[in-house]
Amino acid sequence: MRKRGGSASGHAADPERVPVDTESRNESSGPEPAAVASDLEPWFAGNARDLPWRRRRTGYRVLVSESMLQQTQVSRVADRFPRFVGRFPTIQDLASSPIDDVLQEWEGLGYYRRARLLHAAAGAIVERHGGRVPSDAAKLRALPGVGPYTAGAVASLAFGRREAIVDGNVGRVLIRLAGKEASIDDPKALRWCWSRSRELVEAAADPAVLNEGLMELGATICTPRSPSCGSCPVAGHCKARRLAIQDRIPVAKRRPSRRQVVHHVLVLPPKRRGTRMLATVQRRAPNGLWASMWEFPTVETDRPLQARTFSRRLGLAAGDLRRMESFSHATTHREVRFVVFEAISQRSPTFEREVSLIEVERLGELAMSVPQRRIADAWAARWATDVQPSSRWPED
């Protein structure tokens, strides 16, 4: 499911991982679908947030926004979405662009695999559907990276199809309306949510309004903690509120602890080629975290390395490096500690992966992770005006 859980976030969990299923239709399904829809739809029409992807609905814009919103804060997507569709205004523009350009525009949104899948889906749409985003949910699900949730969202929001959706927000609303003491991550509860969502969309006057209303309600009113039941348009139908268990359900799933890793980063003084200044960078491996993105030469370990050990890995002496800063960056599954060293001697290090020399002015064009971009910006600022900058480095 997605992480639109809460007012500041996009879609919770992974919305595509559980297939639609009709199991559990005989279980108690909560209030009458028509009654919920008749109260929810006019509420959304009068209370919808002004978000850039809502101002003009097309299959392409919905596909882009729904891809961005998975596991990402709404405020961050609201900032990046206009830039992305400005640079790639059509599905053809996206499909024909190099993946590096797409990753560069995705920078800051995280989960870069989504950008790769969106790029692949754009290519498939051009190849299979003549550049027109299909309105049929089954055809949408056949695209790379598109599962039941995204297919339902595009089909209903862009084309008015009666297709169900279930993300973190929708699942939470449905479970509370029915007063089900269940976790949305439980497969049986999730199948029930899909079944219930289909009943609601069939009863709706406008399936697009109903679906967005469910998502909006979960994002702004029926939030994970301290829901604003007094402002809820369907509070009169809510069993959880009647039983005073709305703060207890859905049952929270215990999250696994993040894996701790350390990235030891080496920054070198720029190399001079005439009037040009060149930065030493490298590409990451084509799979795994931040796949194929650019970075300063980096050695990854499970534990911090002593400066002398890091130096030896690079074929240098301990006095050849100076530690500049350290900071942490959290991803969904990892806590990454960055330790940045600067080369202060004339010796040439031996790198574990091939490096490239890139003009300093072009660093901003490279697709980098947020922490590597932070390092790049600090490095470029230090060398912008002087070949021998001060030793000061920005700290947390």
List active site positions: 66
Do the strands 294-295 and 276-283 form a parallel or antiparallel pair, or are they unpaired?
Answer: antiparallel
For the chain, the farthest-separated pair of C-alpha atoms sits apart, in whole angstroms, at 76
Task: Please calculate the CA angle 213-217-220 and round it to the nearest 5 degrees.
Answer: 130
Q: Please, are residues 315 and 331 in contact by the beta-carbon 8 Å criterion?
A: no
**Cβ neighbours around 266 below 10 Å, total:** 22
Q: How far apart are CA 379 and CA 280, in angstroms?
A: 11
Q: How far apart are CA 191 and CA 245, in angstroms?
A: 22
Do the strands 294-295 and 356-359 form a parallel or antiparallel pair, or are they unpaired?
Answer: unpaired
Calculate the alpha carbon distances from 28 to 21, 160, 171, 195, 210 in Å: 16, 28, 15, 12, 21
User: How many contiguous H segments (helices) and E segments (strands) does the chain have?
Assistant: 15, 8
Q: What is the DSSP letter of 318?
A: G
Residue 309 in tokens: 């050990």
